[in-house]
Amino acid sequence: MRVLGIDPGTRITGFGCVEGDRDRPSLIDAGVFRLLKVSKELGPRLVELERDLDKLLAELRPDVVAIEGLFVHYKHPATAIVMGHARGVIVLAVQRAGPELVELKPAEVKKSLVGHGQASKAQMQDAIQHQFGLDSRPEPADVADALAIALCALRRPTIEIDDPLARIAP
């Protein structure tokens, strides 16, 4: 199975693609979309995100795309609103391309990789470096986050029944 993980952002969106099974994942591709090239305005950055993501989906042809669920910190609610715009573009692009879409909570991703849901960015980078035998930590942290999202989705058990509405189990 090939899984593309996406760490959404309106300036930097991380992506990481893994393939294999829960015990032997392989790193296929990883990187970021830096959405500062076109404009500092949100609209043009979202158009750029859609274009970049469409190209990536066509190139990698994932079976599943996993995206980090929206997290709202009570001190910064406006951040969640702006992030929702990027997530909307990502969800739309994935739905048009056809792979299954899975949303994962940040704490679930962290727990699956490092054993607890409050892991720091550095801990996530170290865990990804170790998992794939990389020479150094993935930079920026958005890359490690996207790979962690992909790994978490790859490792989740699936429901195998004849129900067209069945989804990946929590």
Q: Which residues does the annotation mark as catalytic?
A: 7, 68, 142
In angstroms and rounded to an integer, the radius of gyration of the C-alpha atoms of the chain is: 15
Residue whose token pair is 């004849």: 162
Residue whose token pair is 């792979």: 99
- CA–CA distance, 93 with 135 (Å, rounded to integer): 33
Query: Are 64 and 21 contacting, i.e. CB atoms less than 8 angstroms apart?
Result: no
Query: Are 21 and 151 contacting, i.e. CB atoms less than 8 angstroms apart?
Result: no
